[in-house]
Structure 1
Amino acid sequence: MLPWLLLLICAPLCEPAGIPVSDVNLETQPPGGWVMEGSKLVLICSVANATGNITYFWYRGALGSNLETKIQHSLTAEFEIVEAKSSDAEQYYCAADNGYGPVLSELVDITVRVPVSRPVLTFGDSGTQAVLGDLVELHCEALRGSPPIFYQFYHENVILGSSSAPSGGGASFNFSVTAEHSGNYFCEASNGQGAQRSEVVTLNLTGRQPDDPLRSPPRPVLQESSYLNSPDPRQLQSLYENVNVVSGDDIYSLVYHTQQEMEPAVAQHMRTHGASEVSRVSSDIYSKARKINIADMDYEDPM
């Protein structure tokens, strides 16, 4: 047989058989599947061994929504997400095929980290006016940011306290107001992707206000007992004064009535002798003003 004929017959039979794709793997850049929002995410699909041209596929989600398809004569291929968004946080996988059937990689979780936004500092229900001795709540909250979020509270550029929000949202710090707590406050929020600082808020303090006399409870008033046999030793005793008043040629007797506290011994005397004696004494003191002749009176000139 002619040599050239032998070569034609042997050529397709003597070539080594093609090697199918094996050990398909999906890696990410940055590594670990963590990427910042707005940053580039690279999905790298690779095979351990294969011959010929290889068709690569990238899929999003466990149900396999196809993102990209490339044909390359290499053991690796890349697919880029130029600016990662929070909605890109998903599971991804890739597949490779060189004519022997596709081989799939394992699922890879992609986490998109969202930096914290500028937080807002508030003073709870008290607002920016506080009274000495009050309990004030500082509340700091970043509206955006991947958890956990760590917060620090500052008074005049000195750390007053700290708190954290493991699941996101805001955090609070409480303190009792003293005279040293007036001044400027701000807070910082961070989730490992850089810190953001709130605007400065000023807290104004006032001394504790005196009680409103209109709202103060009435003071107890000592009232005269209606009963002579009352056990209260502080009885009120009636005193009477007889005053002579000169009007022309006539003199009138006027009686003035005043009250003073009775001594306990007098109160006891009244309880012992009863109301009859008091009535008798009162009848002797009270008298009708009588008209008398000025010539019959010997009086001192009060002047």
Structure 2
Amino acid sequence: MLPWLLLLICALPCDPAGIPVSDVSLKTQPSGGWVMEGNKLVLICSVASATGNITYLWYRGALGFNLETKTLPSLTAEFEISDMKQSDADQYYCAANNGDGPIPSELVNIHVKVPVSRPVLTFGDSGTQAVLGDLVELHCKALRGSPPIFYQFYHESIVLGNSSAPSGGGASFNFSLTAEHSGNFSCEASNGQGAQRSEVVALNLTGLSLAPTENGISHLSSGLTKWLLGCLGPITVTLIFCYWLKKKIGRQSEDVLRSPPQTVLQESTYRNSPGPRQPEPLYENVNVVSGDQVYSLVYHTQQELEPATAQQVKTHWASEVSSGIYSKPRVNTAYVDYEDSM
């Protein structure tokens, strides 16, 4: 019996104290390392084998900021973050120790997915005032939301188009403005965690249009209409003035044609005869010779005639002048005495 006791006493110090931890791993719930903002994240640390009580430790970041420590006689242990925030996205790992030193797990990336906020719709540089035919830019942006973000643009309830922002932020959509685009616009943002719709924004059209014809004539903008009116106004005033001036010149020409020709006084060859501008008497006393005899000069005025009859008038005038001096008895008539006028 003594040998058996010696063997037992010798064997006790030779038995191992326990099985050390091995194959430490970290798993997440939800799985895949994605968690929605506001939801809880469960970090599950486990070992493949170990004996006795095991101390579990959870760390955040590659530098190892300790979050929690638990000691359990179990091969698994859990640590829960109840309300995840976007700032909680980071790398996590755990470690296990049953007396031989902590054994760490591999790093696990945790992503916090942020639902999109209500987007804001704006109208590029033009604002909410635009003219028909303009190229309008719709810009939609959600201030918060994990990428990628998908945007859709609406005119009333009709989808105009869509765009995406792979890295987050906003997106734009361009279109040419027509008369059918009058009304309200909105946009929608989504990143797979629910969609959010923007407020409705009204676009005011400042262009006047003409209804399209069967030949497809496009609408005429108000800018073109104002330009035409601005050009036609001065042109119309100019045409009216030219028409009035033409009428006035025409009336003056008609008055000249209708007025009788001016009489031309034939210059007398007699020394004592009056000039052409002297008031025209029918008779003029030339000289009183003697007694009751008075010699008078008769003037005769004529109008300008055509060249064809000029020779005839000249002959007739010569005959009249040659017989123009005659004598007659003095009578009580009104005449201008030649010597008195001298």
Q: TM-score, normalised by structure 2?
A: 0.62
Map 1:140-289 to 2 at 5 A: 140-205=140-205, 206-207=207-208, 208-209=221-222, 210-212=225-227, 241=253, 243=256
1:248-293 residue CA offsets vs partner (Å, 9 max, x unmatched): xxx997xxxxxxxxxxxxxxxxxxxxxxxxxxxxxxxxxxxx9998
More helix by share: 2
User: Offset at 1:4?
Assistant: 11
Which runs of no fewer than 5 residues in structure 1 stay unpaired? 222-237, 254-289, 299-303
- Structure with greater contact order relative to length (CA < 8 Å, sep ≥ 6): 1
Distance in 1 separating the partners of 2:56 and 2:43: 12
Aligned to 1:18: 18
User: Offset at 1:87?
Assistant: 1.0
With over 3 angstroms needed to count, the CA separation of the structure-2 counterparts of 1:291 and 1:39, relative to structure 1, is farther
Distance in 2 separating the partners of 1:115 and 1:11: 64
Distance in 2 separating the partners of 1:252 and 1:98: 143
With over 3 angstroms needed to count, the CA separation of the structure-2 counterparts of 1:18 and 1:214, relative to structure 1, is same
CA RMSD of aligned residues (A): 3.6
Aligned to 2:50: 50
Distance in 1 separating the partners of 2:5 and 2:231: 124
User: Offset at 1:55?
Assistant: 0.3
User: Offset at 1:155?
Assistant: 1.2
Asked which structure has the greater CA Rg, the reply is 2
- The range that moved more, 180-189 or 208-217, is 208-217
User: Offset at 1:297?
Assistant: 9.0
The residue type equivalent to 1:182 in the other structure is S
With over 3 angstroms needed to count, the CA separation of the structure-2 counterparts of 1:9 and 1:212, relative to structure 1, is same
3-state SS, counterpart of residue 71 of structure 2:
strand
With over 3 angstroms needed to count, the CA separation of the structure-2 counterparts of 1:60 and 1:215, relative to structure 1, is farther
Runs of 4+ more than 4 Å apart:
1-8, 13-17, 212-219, 290-293, 295-298
1:142-176 residue CA offsets vs partner (Å, 9 max, x unmatched): 01111111000111211110000111111111111
Give the number of aligned pairs: 240
1:84-131 residue CA offsets vs partner (Å, 9 max, x unmatched): 111111111110000011111001111111111000111112222221
Map 1:58-137 to 2 at 5 A: 58-137=58-137
Identity %: 73
Q: TM-score, normalised by structure 1?
A: 0.69
